[in-house]
Amino acid sequence: MASTGASSSLLLFTSSVLLLAALCAASVPYAPGLSENFYDESCPQAAAIVRSYVLKYLTNDSSFAGAFNRLQFHDCWVQGCDGSVLLNSTDTNSAEREAHVNFGLRGLKEVDEIKAALEYACPGVVSCADLLILAARDATSIAGGLSWSVGLGRRDSRVSNDLLADGNLPFPVFPFDILVDNFARKNFSAREMVVLSGAHTIGRSHCNGILPHIYNFTGGNNETDIDPTLNPGFAAYLKRNCPFGNRDNSIPIDSTSGKFDNAYYKNVLGGKGVFITDSTLITTTLGNSIVSSFAEGDSTFFQEFADAMVKMGNLGVLTGSQGEIRQKCQFVN
């Protein structure tokens, strides 16, 4: 547990960030049907409830900032921002949560707790899809990034399928050109792909996605088959913490994993990217140029990240009478 002093400092810092939110607001327009004041009358305390719980989780474990960011991305990239990543499997359907690419997904229990609080305050009003958008925004700002205004009014999907997740989300072994193509299919540029890769500045990862970087880089399932671009000392660190065949250990994915900053880009430039998708960013002139610019102290990374998160939150939203407002995020009504 964090000390009382640490909690107070975090609260003061968060309040300061929120006061500056209007100055730091993202400049991307919202999808039709979304608005910043969507819950002003039906559940005016919704954003405060989400923020209070996210602050509690991050005070106890700062790596949850990465978990909430990952949940937004893994939800929105698969049939849109509709809360489908949260649904449980059934006897006749394997849900997104079971997909290979969603191995080790964290924060699901915490989302259920936030949803229960929202249902207690405003029954049947706030969607699980909007909850994820708010939680990712708050987690980023509490960890030291910008806050940004969010459009709300999404509704929840009744459909979730593991094959859709594996067919849409990028795997941690993708090279640069495949990553660019994956993001282009969602109308995101190569630069926006590098920007959103910066989410790896916070959080932890299970070894499952790291093993191919340090044992199986060329596909030979060989214990000595390491990405040659990795810093040798860092590769040794990864091997110590992710022994051959061990998928379940977890490590920080950044040297300052509890703080949202640009250290990720400095690490990638120094051969210390945790995933193949990190190291590959500097294998092309374009990628190297973008990474190098974000590694600078006066870069535009923070604002571009906020803009990209708002843009992502517009993907495939359900509004109006579409979908439903789930009472529990794990189950359709």
Q: Is 254 annotated as a binding residue?
A: yes
Q: Is 80 annotated as a binding residue?
A: yes
Q: What is the DSSP letter of 101?
A: G
Considering only CA atoms, which of 29, 128, 23 is closest in space to residue 75? 128
What is the C-alpha separation between 28 and 24, in angstroms, rounded? 12
Element (H, E) at 63: none
Q: Is 82 annotated as a binding residue?
A: yes
Distances (CA, A) of 203 to 170, 195, 244, 248: 18, 16, 22, 15
- For residue 10 the two structure tokens come to 């975090």
User: Read out DSSP for 110-132?
Assistant: HHHHHHHHHHHHSTTTS-HHHHH
Using alpha carbons only, give the angle 12, 17, 23 rounded to the nearest 5 degrees. Answer: 150
| β-strands 250-252, 204-206 pairing | antiparallel
Q: Is 201 annotated as a binding residue?
A: yes
Q: Is 140 annotated as a binding residue?
A: no
Give the chain's length: 333
User: Sign (positive/negative) of CA torsion 5, 45, 201, 72?
Assistant: positive
Q: Could you confirm whether 74 is annotated as catalytic?
A: yes
Beta bridge partners of 158: none
Considering only CA atoms, which of 180, 152, 177, 2 is closest in space to residue 81? 152
Q: Is 218 annotated as a binding residue?
A: no
Q: Is 243 annotated as a binding residue?
A: no
327 Cβ neighbours under 8 A, 6+ residues apart: 119, 123, 124, 333
Q: Determine which one of 74, 100, 206, 213 is catalytic.
A: 74
Beta bridge partners of 179: none
Half-sphere exposure for 287 (CA within 13 Å, toward CB): 22
Q: Is 200 annotated as a binding residue?
A: yes
Q: Is 84 annotated as a binding residue?
A: yes
What 3-state DSSP class applies to 155?
strand
Residues acting as catalytic residues: 74
Name the binding residues for substrate: 170
Name the binding residues for Ca(2+): 75, 78, 80, 82, 84, 96, 201, 254, 261
Name the binding residues for heme b: 200
Name the binding residues: 75, 78, 80, 82, 84, 96, 170, 200-201, 254, 261
